[in-house]
Structure 1
Amino acid sequence: MKVSLERKNLYGYIINSIVVIALGIIYWKQMDFTTNRLWHWVSLALVILTLGMLTTVFFILKAQLKAKRQSEEELLKNQKLLQSIINNTTNAISVKKINGEYILVNEKYQSILESSEKSLIGRTNHDILPKETADRYFNADLDAVKAGKEIQIEEVFEQSDGPHTYLSVKFPLFDASNRMYAIGTISTDITQRKAIMESQKAADTFFNMSIDSLVIASKDRFLKINPSLSKLLGYSNEELLNKPFATYIVPEDITITEQAIEKLEKGTDLINFKNRWICKDGTIKWLSWHATADTSTGMLYAIVRDITENLKLKEEDEKMMNELYESQQKLNMILENISDGVLVANTSKQVLLANDVANELFGIEDDSKISVDFSNHFKVLYPNGEKIFPVQNLPAELALAGEITDDIDVLLQNKKTNEMRRVLLSGRPILDNENHIAAVVVTIKDISRYKKLEEELERKDQASRPLIGFKTSRTKKKK
């Protein structure tokens, strides 16, 4: 059984006291007080003094042992506190002798090597790792020994979920005589940080390569811009970053821009917000902004596009559409105020436009239901009414073939009512910019009334001839 120093001290004190007292008693009994009495009393005093010294030494040793025990308890407490601290840090911490033997490892370091403290203390990396890996770690420790001061290096540790990169701070430890005896290492896992940095690097690459202008800004200043915006406005990055961006906005648009920023700060995204910017060469450009804000930081993020040319094209398109609309209105007025029926059809023979005269002639208000070759509504006959007129000779068919026709005289017989109309048909192809046929125009002139008048005049002329001295062919034959 192991005996503590306190008990050893006590037992030694008791034994030595017993021995001294026993010797004193023996000496006392053997003393002859009749002779040399002074010497006997001196001897007795020495025994008592020895007992006193033994007692004093006992209490001194007891006090020292107590102090040592308290010191050891305090040291143990501090060691436990230190161990608790290093065990609860997210950093991996180790201390090795110069030869690579582990003196101290925390739990994080143990988890990296997947080994317990007992299996690591007193052993080297060569005892637990492949030689190539152990050599790499040992050489890194030697770099700190050679430098004689703190160094920082990146180390890769293979773990169960794959390789992890650690930023290791290695530093020499010195004893009381200033001799280096160990190397301490504090390693921080920077795997995720490196991934973020790589991601940030990739993001920066795309940020700078983007054709669109990309902006990160505060309420009144650009914080980061890509080269596209500098190229767009003509200013350098420094010029745009060092001044409030309102400096470059057309003064009349500053108020609406500030109002838009207020909306962003309240969490409302901007979609296609437009304002005007002054370029370095003095020209004005319209920019379209798609922006959002991080309300917790106040950061504004935006994609910017130059829409100056688009707006010009839009204005030109609107102007052209207005002119086209005016032309269309004029054309409609002309079509509706002429006496002839007009049909406009595409190359698929679908009627796109018919004026009121044509609608009345066909008895149909829906233009798309009119057939440009009349086949759904009329029989087309020669003027004598005895023979069908060939469909391929109608103006629409000829116009689709690129031919122009004028005043084809035909008779239209309504398939429902058998009503007859004498008309003159004309046709024209409409060509596009590439000189291809895009549509055809067919005009219908109703001459039925004129033909009736002509027949009536002819009849009256024949009736009046005898009255004014003309002889009919019948009278001549009688003679």
Structure 2
Amino acid sequence: MALVKISYEKKIVLGYIINLMVVFALGLIYWKQMPQSGDAVLWDWILLALIVLSLGMLTVVYVILKAQQKANTTYAQELLQSQTLLQSIIDNTPNPISVKKLNGEYLLVNTQYQMLFREKTEDLIGKTNHDVLDKETADRYRSTDLDALKTGREIQVEETFEQADGTHIYLSVKFPLFDNSGRAYAIGNISTDITERKKIEQSLKAADTFFNLSVDSLVIASKEKFIKVNPSLSKLLGYSDAELLAKPFTDFIHADDTAATKKEIEKLEKGTDLINFINRWVCKDGSIKWLSWNATADVCTGTLYAIVRDVTAQLMLKEKEEKERNMLFESRQKLNMILENISDGVIVANAEKQVVLANHNANLFFGIQEDTEISMNFSDHFEVLYPDGETPFPAQNLPAERALLGEVTDDVDVLLRDYETNKKRRVLLSGRPIWNHENAIVAVVVTMKDISRYKKLEAELKKKDMASRTIIGFKKSKQQSEKS
């Protein structure tokens, strides 16, 4: 038991001394037995020489052992230094690294790998995954280790680890380690945390899906060519993606808009965003599309990002509306000229009974300059009476009200008395409904003919006629006499 505690270096020295003493003892014994008279034979001298040689050989062996022991000590120190250096390197590597025996026991782990299991164990060395993880998870990790052994080369697998801040995804490279004889003796593992990369990939996938499914046309381009286009633009212009990416995009722009487009691209490169820039593009079938561009640029890379909308229909509709508006304006001007040259007063009211148009004579009739201040309800301006001047005329029987019900009225004879001046006027009112294409009444037209003067002249003529008949002795007929 005492020898077990003696160091290897001391064992060498002690063995050398003991063997040296034994050889000296043997030599001394043999020396004593040799004849002293000088009758020693050759054999005796040979034996003595062998004893001396044994001493030399023993010394040589001792020197060799000491040198080997020193070399082993140096090698052990260098190996320890190498192991320490290796451990220091792998501990300062951000990737978790481990080496396992073929039975799954950990031989080596770095700090990052140990941190994956920090809550489960303080030291993984000598343990297996089944010692620190649930069976299902441990079996899954063990299966991938064995796959690396079966293939005899490195494999890549994605593995998940539950950590304090949630689930992390690692890309693990697993590979067998071979000894000098080519036999696998361990399994190495280097893992990389790809959690953020996975999130980015998912975001990029979602963005790519959005890019491809967007109703609007989306474009990524350089200064001269498209880099990526979504199916919407291809469908819009009729070209395939390959055709659009193969040529400078100016080849697809209408020649008259090329210069203006290049100027806008120069502004983009200087950091000015493009807002609602409209230019014409030539489709594959030769038709022209008006496209509206909203774009921005990465001034560092020169990459352009744009959202494109087809505004051809809108511009055509706008052009049509503008044309119709001009035609309507011209028609209204003509209508105004006609209305202003009509001796009768004319008002036009919408379905909500709001006056939208009145000619000059209508303004004079009501004594109001602003058309919108005229009320279609005549009783707001006048007392409406029958021609007898005493009986009120029902408002619902006025032409304007009847026109709103779809009736056409002509020359309704009424007497209008002004509330302020008490002046009376005999007026013939007529009304017409205006229908739209859906057969709904959208407006009414009311004309007013002041016949007060005619009625006054008629009365005067009648009076003069009667006076003339009396002068010339005109006799009444029997029937007239009876009426008188």
Answering whether residue 265 of structure 2 is matched by residue 261 of structure 1, we say: yes
| Alignment-derived partner of residue 137 in structure 2 | 133
Instruction: Tell me how far 1:78 sits from its aligned partner.
Output: 3.0
Structural mapping, 1:169-208, within 5 Å: 169-208=173-212
Gaps of 5+ in 2: 39-47
The worse-fitting range, judged by mean Cα deviation, of 263-272 and 158-167 is 158-167
User: Does the aligned pair in 2 maintain the 1:424–1:444 contact within 8 Å?
Assistant: yes
Mapped pair 1:339 → 2:347: no
Give 3-state SS (helix, strand or coil) of 2:139's partner: helix
Range with greater deviation from structure 2 (114-123 or 394-403): 114-123
Amino acid aligned to 1:388: P
Among 224, 231, 237, the alignment partner of 1:233 is 237
Deviations 1:366-399 (A, max 9, x none): 3333221211111111222122112122111111
- Contact kept, 8 Å, 2:350 with 2:443, in 1: the verdict is yes
Q: Please state how far the C-alpha of 1:362 moved relative to its aligned partner.
A: 1.5
- CA spacing shift, 1:348–1:234, aligned 2, 3 Å: closer
Checking the alignment, whether the CA contact within 8 Å between 1:110 and 1:116 is kept in structure 2 is no
Q: Distance in 2 between matches of 1:179 and 1:148?
A: 10
**Residue matched to 1:39:** none
Residue 362 in structure 1 maps to residue 369 in structure 2: no
Q: Give the direction of change, closer, same or farther, for the CA distance of 1:463–1:160 in structure 2 (3 Å limit).
A: same
**Compared CA separation, residues 120 and 410, structure 1 to 2 (3 A):** same
| Map of 2:450 onto structure 1 | 446
Could you tell me which residue of structure 2 aligns to residue 292 of structure 1? 296
Correspondence list, 1:367-446, <5 A: 367-446=371-450
Q: Supply the distance in 2 between the matched residues of 1:431 and 1:238 (Cα, whole angstroms).
A: 55
Matches within 5 A, 1:16-415: 68-114=72-118, 119-415=123-419
CA distance in 1, matches of 2:262, 2:461: 85
Question: Does the 8 Å CA contact 2:121/2:132 hold for their aligned counterparts?
Answer: no
In 1, the alpha carbon distance for the partners of 2:332 and 2:7 equals 118
Q: Which moved more, 1:237-246 or 1:454-463?
A: 454-463
- C-alpha distance in 1 between matches for 2:148 and 2:208: 35
- 1:319, CA displacement in angstroms? 0.7
The CA distance in 2 between the partners of 1:461 and 1:76, in whole Å, is 149
* CA offset digits 1:241-275 (Å, max 9, x no partner): 11111111111111111111122222222222111
Q: CA deviation at 1:117?
A: 7.9
Query: In 1, Cα distance between the equivalents of 2:410 and 2:180?
Result: 123
| Separation (CA, whole Å) in 1 of partners of 2:401 and 2:136 | 90
Deviation, 1:116, is: 8.1
Superposed displacement of residue 354, structure 1: 1.9
Corresponding letter in the other structure for 1:149: R
Check whether the contact 2:107–2:126 (CA below 8 A) recurs between aligned residues: yes
Post-superposition shift, 1:80?
A: 2.7
Distance 2:114 2:465 in 1: 131
Question: 2: CA distance between counterparts of 1:389 and 1:255?
Answer: 73
Letter in 1 for 2:206: A
User: Whole-Å Cα distance in 1 between the matches of residues 107 and 469 of structure 2?
Assistant: 147
Query: Relative to 1, partners in 2 of residues 1:413 and 1:158: Cα closer, same or farther, differing over 3 Å?
Result: same
Displacement of 1:102 after TM fit? 0.4
Report SS of the residue matched to 2:286: coil
Q: TM-score, structure 2 length as denominator? A: 0.83
Is contact 1:346-1:439 (8 Å) kept?
Answer: yes
Q: Secondary structure at the match of 2:380?
A: coil
For residues 238 and 85 of structure 1, what CA distance do their matches in structure 2 show? Answer: 49
Q: Distance in 1 between matches of 2:223 and 2:115?
A: 47
Q: What TM-score comes out, normalization by structure 1 length? A: 0.84
Matched residue count: 462
Whole-angstrom CA distance in 2 between matches of 1:261 and 1:11 = 92
The Cα of 1:64 is off from its aligned counterpart by: 6.1
Structure 2 counterpart of 1:176, one-letter code:
N
Determine the structure 1 residue equivalent to 2:41: none
Q: Distance in 1 between matches of 2:95 and 2:370?
A: 84
- In structure 2, the CA distance between the partners of 1:447 and 1:182, relative to structure 1 (3 Å rule), is same
Distance in 2 (CA, whole Å) between partners of 1:134 and 1:334 is 97
Deviation, 1:404, is: 0.9
In the aligned structure 1, how far is the partner of 2:237 from the partner of 2:230?
A: 12
Mapped partners of 1:437, 1:115: distance in 2: 83
Q: CA deviation at 1:119?
A: 2.5
8 Å Cα contact 2:148/2:175 also seen in 1? yes
Distance (whole Å) between structure 2 residues aligned to residue 191 and residue 408 of structure 1: 89
* Distance (whole Å) between structure 2 residues aligned to residue 148 and residue 208 of structure 1: 42
Q: Is the 8 A contact 1:379 1:415 kept in 2?
A: yes
Partner secondary structure for residue 338 of structure 1: coil
* Contact map agreement 1:213 1:225 (CA 8 A) in 2: yes
Q: Could you say what secondary structure the match of 1:275 adopts? A: strand
Give CA deviations for 1:81-125 in whole Å, capped at 9, x if unaligned: 322222222221110011111001112211212268862111111
How far apart are the structure 1 equivalents of 2:10 and 2:343? 139
More deviation, 160-169/124-133: 160-169
Q: Give the RMSD, CA atoms, in angstroms.
A: 3.8
